[in-house]
Structure 1
Amino acid sequence: MAERIALACEGLTKRFGGFKAVDNVSLTVREGTIHALIGPNGAGKTTCFNLLTKVLQPDAGRIAYFGRDVTRLQQEAVARLGMVRSFQISAVFLGLTALQNVRVALLQRTGLGPKFWRPARAMGHLDGEAARLLGEVGLEADAGTRAAQLPYGRKRALEIAMTLALDPRMLLLDEPMAGLGQEDVARITALIRRVSAHRTVLMVEHNLSVVSELCHTITVLARGSILAEGDYQRVSTDERVITAYMGVEAVQEAA
């Protein structure tokens, strides 16, 4: 079976005034893989990720999703195509239970999102699917717990459940390990591996141990351009990467 390309960009460029944050970036994310976008502060990875996830519009270049040109589409439009993003800061409804949070996401997928005036009993048919999604991320025991009462790591798991409720073909994760303790990092790493079994994942992540454990392909950015690309073994031994980003100690710790 021929390899399929989930997401590709060519010549992606973004300027802010006279500053070129992303400079002629071209990359390819293969279907069914976990692909990481990494780089030091100021490398342009966040801007590049925002371009790929349609938070920002590029000044130049082209973006294709499963062969369809989505360069000028808005974020909501590409989400309907199955490309769904989660954010670095947990974005859940703190006053709702975990089950209710996932139900809100299911309402959005079914086109009933704006109809919050409907009585709760009219949405009960979604509870089974919401419970299944909570089970997929290990939160079945927290279904009735208000999100505000969940530890931070479980809030991140809940956010992933809400993202899965949108039935993504491709999952885009913005620093999923940000703010997590070591135990939660291990839990969310295992969760990402599990939910990626039938999906493509693109993630921005600073934790190199996580990147080395999870990712099939890593794109390293520096000063808005691609510095290196390949599997972890290849990029971690690239002298340009060691010099510009990782540093010898960081590479040794993550190896």
Structure 2
Amino acid sequence: MTNPARASDCILRTEGLSKEFLGFHAVKNVSLNIRRHSIHALIGPNGAGKTTCFNLLTTFIPASAGRIYYNEHDITKSDPASVAIGGMVRSFQISAVFGQMSVLDNVRVALQRKAGGTFAFWRSARVLERYTGRARELLAAVNLEPYANFSAADLSYGRKRALELATTLALEPELILLDEPIAGLGHEDIGPVTRLIAQVAKDRTVLMVEHNMKVVAELCDRITVLQAGEVLAEGSYEEVSNDARVRAAYVGGAHA
């Protein structure tokens, strides 16, 4: 099953993307078409190549073959910093926040990075104040404004993931890549974080790796299924969940 989207409809696409490690094909001949303003999931059993694919798309590792196009620019040979500056920002599987800083300062750090500055711990509060208004707007957008002066380390895991989304939004991304955003969340946090992802995706494109099929079904417009590094199926949740090849791939995997 192929995505009928034209190249002009896609914010990110790949052609024959492959990665080989000493003869092992972690990703093999993967062609993706990620539509603008959609939520697209990359799923598959453990070891299917999902994280490697993310690393390739964000140029954290070089491709062995194939091409990557972001907004129709070839970024195959680019570097992660340039890709992020261009508007494609990735959040990682493990929440990455500065625990000893306040929630507000975590966002101000990200805003400074977007402005081309660097965070210095000895800067005066007056210098940092220029970022406070926008930082509070972003915290409000992810329902964290009441926690602005809390130490980030004191947040619940779910709120740390929300803070990570706020710092991601501070970089003004056009495309957000989420690596297992629900991983490690308690049952009480899954619903709020799912709604938060839907909220931040309204004016953006989201590509996510996720194991929780209920979340994928609720959020995603389109799904690509990987198996052994190759595209096994692609389509809506209904289409891929009823695909016999996908069902066979997940036998014994408990929706891995």
TM-score, normalised relative to structure 1: 0.94
1:203 equivalent among 208, 233, 254: 208
Query: 1 CA distance for matches of 2:201 and 2:251?
Result: 26
Q: How does 1:107-118 map to 2 (within 5 A)?
A: 107-113=112-118, 115-118=120-123
| Paired letter, 1:17 | L
Residue 182 of structure 1: CA displacement? 1.5
Structure 1: how far apart are the matches of 2:68 and 2:184?
31
Structure 2 regions of 5+ residues with no counterpart?
A: 1-5
Q: Counterpart in 1 of 2:103?
A: 98
Q: Is the CA contact (8 Å cut-off) linking 1:37 and 1:203 kept in structure 2?
A: yes
1:63 alignment counterpart = 68
**Gaps in structure 1 of 5+ consecutive residues:** none
Deviates more, 1:167-176 or 1:48-57: 48-57
> Does structure 1 residue 238 correspond to structure 2 residue 243?
yes
Could you tell me which amino acid in structure 2 is paired with residue 27 of structure 1? L
**1:187, distance to aligned residue in structure 2 (A):** 0.5
Cα deviations by residue, 1:157-185 (Å, 9 ceiling, x for unpaired): 00000000000011110000000012211
In the alignment, does 2:225 pair up with 1:220? Answer: yes
Is the 2:39–2:208 Cα contact (8 Å) retained in structure 1? yes
Deviation at 1:117, TM superposition (A): 4.4
Q: Does 1:179 align with 2:184?
A: yes
2:152 aligned residue (147, 153, 167): 147
Name the aligned partner's letter for residue 209 of structure 1. Answer: K
Residue aligning to 1:29: 34
Q: Distance in 2 between matches of 1:186 and 1:239?
A: 29
Residue of structure 2 in register with 1:43 after alignment: 48
Measured on the aligned residues, the alpha-carbon RMSD in Å equals: 1.6
The change in CA–CA distance for 1:213 and 1:145 in structure 2 (over 3 A counts) is same
Q: Does 1:16 align with 2:21?
A: yes
**Length-normalised TM-score, structure 2:** 0.94
CA shift, 1:54, in A, is 1.6
**1:248/1:110 Cα in 2 relative to 1: closer, same or farther (>3 Å)?**
closer
Q: What whole-Å deviation, never above 9, does each CA across 1:51-90 have from its counterpart, x for those lacking one? A: 1122111010000001111111101001111000000000
How big is the shift at 1:206? Answer: 0.3
Distance 1:100 1:114 in 2: 10
Identical aligned residues as a percent: 56
Partner of 1:79: 84
Range 13-22 or range 228-237, more displaced: 13-22
Q: Distance in 2 between matches of 1:119 and 1:110?
A: 18
Aligned residues: 250
Given the superposition, is the C-alpha separation of residues 186 and 151 from structure 1 closer, same or farther in structure 2, using an over 3 Å criterion?
same
Tell me if structure 1 keeps the 8 A contact 2:109–2:119.
no
Which of 122, 125, 132 pairs up with 2:127?
122
